[in-house]
Structure 1
Amino acid sequence: MSDVFVYDKAKYHYQSEFPNDISSDQAFVHTGMFLGWLIDNNLFSKEFEEETQIEINKFKQREISGTHIYMCWDGVLTDDMLNDEGNKFAKSYFDFGTGLYLKDYEETFPNLETLYHVNDNWENYFKIKAVIDKRYLECKKIKKLFS
């Protein structure tokens, strides 16, 4: 049995240097939006799909957010939730140490006190989705990440 790779846990954020003036639910938003993007692009594993089919459908109908789904998964994003292509992209782009996701996220929402102050709404999701879409195409084209 192989070890599960953890991309992020909400508790990493709300148990560290987290702003006192907002709800701890805000620690789920930045990764929830990325999870939503993964769902929009069908980059999830069969197991995740089997356990989350109702929520996936609700997300795709814009009835619930990716953040809501991330909360349902206890605020944990792991490699076994993604398919091979999803993992290749997440390991390249979402990695907080070497990837560009947090930089892109902060640049997409520049006038906020912290990345935790982004509201979980469709307008903001579509803003970051456009940026992730661009990065994903760059990865596919330049790095030939998925060939």
Structure 2
Amino acid sequence: MLSGSNTQPPPSKEQAIAKVAADGRSDLAKQLELIAEQEAQGRIVCITGMLTNLCKHTNDLLLPERGIRTAPYWTGYNYLKSWCINGDGVPSAEYDRLIELLHRDRSIAGYSYMLIRPDDGALIEYSTDYVFIPNWYGEPVRVGFSTPKDYRVVEEGRGDRIIR
């Protein structure tokens, strides 16, 4: 065997996410590498501002069957609106828990939660792996990774829940 060769297996998805999350000052190249790896594995990538809740990026793996709108139309969407599942304008406890866990642990595997899908008012359950990145072009963000099938419709759309 050549000296200096790497005999370690490649890191798992969880290890790669944890590495970027643990290194709060990881450089942009590492962050982009993680995102590219997740996309190559067929995973949806959604980057959302922690302070604004605005969607910064969603890749093309988010299909209309899941989100109705296509990926480019999610950019700029305020996800906080979708977390208000009770119709009272108050984000769900699942949102508060997500933010708490991301600040504490920096990454979460398989987080299950419900959102209102804005274009039809359907209540949707999702499962997403999240990583907290404290400095994404100057702003803290959460990056969600999920497969296109990591969702289920809990309740069909209702006109009174459509988000404008």
TM over 0.5: no
Whose helix proportion is higher, 1 or 2?
1
Higher relative contact order (CA 8 A, sep 6+): 1
Whose strand proportion is higher, 1 or 2?
2
Rg larger for: 2
* TM-score computed with the length of structure 2 as normaliser: 0.28
* TM-score computed with the length of structure 1 as normaliser: 0.30
